[in-house]
Amino acid sequence: MSKFDHHFRMSEAEAAEYAAEKLEMFAGARALECSEIGDGNINYVFRVRDPESGRSAIVKQADASTRSGTRVLGFDRNRIETEILQLEGRYAPGLVPKVYFYDPVMSCVCMEDLSDHVILRYEFIAHKRFPRLVEDITDFMVLTLVPTLDVVVDPAEKKELVKRYTNPNLCAITEQLVYTDPYTNASGRNKVFPPNAEFVEREIYGDADLHFEVAKLKYKFMNDAQALIHGDLHSGSIFARQDSTKVIDPEFAFYGPIGYDLGNVVGNFCFAWANAAMTMGDPAERESYIAWLDGAIAGTIDRFALKFRALLEAKAGDRIARGARYARWFTDTILEDAAGVAGLEMIRRTVGVAKVADMTRIADEAARAKAERLVMLCAKDFILRRDAYLTGGSYARRLHEALETLSR
């Protein structure tokens, strides 16, 4: 009888033993190396490697609660993540890790090790460029989102999928940390950088118009089951190398507004922009890298829009929803939503509890304070004037305008 016939949280040694028992690639291995590499608060992530063959895999285990023990999540998120990775692998081959095995008893998913890729966020902080990034990430979004629309898939089938991928525990985290806490701090969870305390009090907590628009966006997130979205598509969920891009961690997936995925990508690219503007010392190098980021931000919006419209026109099965006019209207609604979500992501990662290294690793306090103000000023405009951000170039222009204003 296997020791893994009931759920318990594994140690590194137990994860190695588990991988040896469950994964064919490790059959006959004499000794496996294992290290726990998870850096989030939700799951335990083990990299298991056979030093003799060089073969390796990731074992990701869910426990009933967060690692900190502050929130009960249940185990179904692991099943959702596994199934979503498998769906994404069919819709967008090569853009997600391969799934080897799913174990509902131990609540484990075993998958491809992406150690030959790097987490995009940290490469942005190192001011690296990736020539395939825009094409790959827009392909990923369009190819995984369009097939799950109810103007493409049979509406009855879509409704069954909505039920299968209802994800209340993970959605509750988003609703609290993205759409609520950053604007009132009623929970006391926010962590504001002290030099910006008065700025946040005035510009974020004290802006009733901003709160009204955020409330509209929150309602849409909670009620608009457009497509099966990734739900957490930031630069920490993207692995990259010069010739490849991989998207990971779809455990927040559910049927929601498409603009949530697109906006999260763009918002995190804006963090990279602010980091570069405040930390790169050589003027020529800074100008060159920011120009590349301008193109990456603009390209993500514009290439998404072009690809989404084309695929929707080609795939729409609902006769009343066919044609270029409908596809353009639908895409524009997504772009408007995405602007709002980009702003939400930028504010919550600056004001809220879940920070990003793009900001926290800026060592100079004055530079970090300025970077955060730049992010928040742009974020507010993205939220308040969503209909002004239907083209990619509008984001870059706003970032440059905000930087110029703060530099006076």
Question: 313 or 187: which carries more pLDDT confidence?
Answer: 313
CA 238 vs. chain centroid, Å, equals: 8
Is residue 135 domain-shared with residue 107, that is, in the same domain? no
Mean pLDDT of the chain: 95
The answer as to whether 3 is a domain residue is: no
Beta strands in 261-394, from DSSP E residues, in sequence order: none
* Dist. CA 292–CA 326, nearest whole Å: 33
Is residue 169 domain-shared with residue 23, that is, in the same domain? no
Beta strands in 224-378, from DSSP E residues, in sequence order: 227-229, 238-241, 244-247, 254-256
- Where in the sequence is the domain holding 34, given as residue range(s)? 12-112
Structural domains of the chain, count: 2
- List CB contacts of 313: < 8 A, sequence separation 6 or more: 322, 323, 324, 327
C-alpha closest to that of 101 among 181, 155, 20: 20
pLDDT of residue 11: 95
Q: What is the mean pLDDT of residues 317-335?
A: 93
Examine the fold and report which residue of 76, 94, 112 is the final residue of a domain before the chain moves on.
112
Query: Domain with 108 in it: what CATH number?
Result: 3.30.200.20
Burial class (CB in 10 A: 0-12, 13-18, 19+), 186: exposed
Is residue 222 domain-shared with residue 184, that is, in the same domain? yes
Say if residues 376 and 347 touch (Cβ distance below 8 Å). yes
Give per-residue pLDDT as tens, 198-250.
Answer: 999 999 999 999 999 999 999 999 999 999 999 999 999 999 999 999 999 99
C-alpha closest to that of 112 among 247, 311, 264, 281: 247
* Residue 370: C-alpha distances to residues 111, 300, 357, 365 (Å): 41, 26, 15, 9
Please state the pTM of the whole predicted model.
Answer: 0.95
Give per-residue pLDDT as tens, 63-112.
Answer: 888 777 777 788 888 999 999 999 999 999 999 999 999 999 999 999 99
Examine the fold and report which residue of 112, 129, 155 is the final residue of a domain before the chain moves on.
112
Examine the fold and report which residue of 69, 93, 112 is the final residue of a domain before the chain moves on.
112
Is residue 125 domain-shared with residue 58, that is, in the same domain? no
pLDDT-derived band at 322, boundaries 50, 70, 90:
confident
Is residue 265 domain-shared with residue 357, that is, in the same domain? yes
Largest separation between any pair of C-alpha atoms in the chain: 71
Is residue 153 domain-shared with residue 128, that is, in the same domain? yes
The answer as to whether 362 is a domain residue is: yes
The answer as to whether 168 is a domain residue is: yes
Is residue 135 domain-shared with residue 76, that is, in the same domain? no
Is residue 19 domain-shared with residue 133, that is, in the same domain? no
Is residue 128 domain-shared with residue 100, that is, in the same domain? no
Query: Domain with 286 in it: what CATH number?
Result: 3.90.1200.10
Q: What is the mean pLDDT of residues 183-196?
A: 93
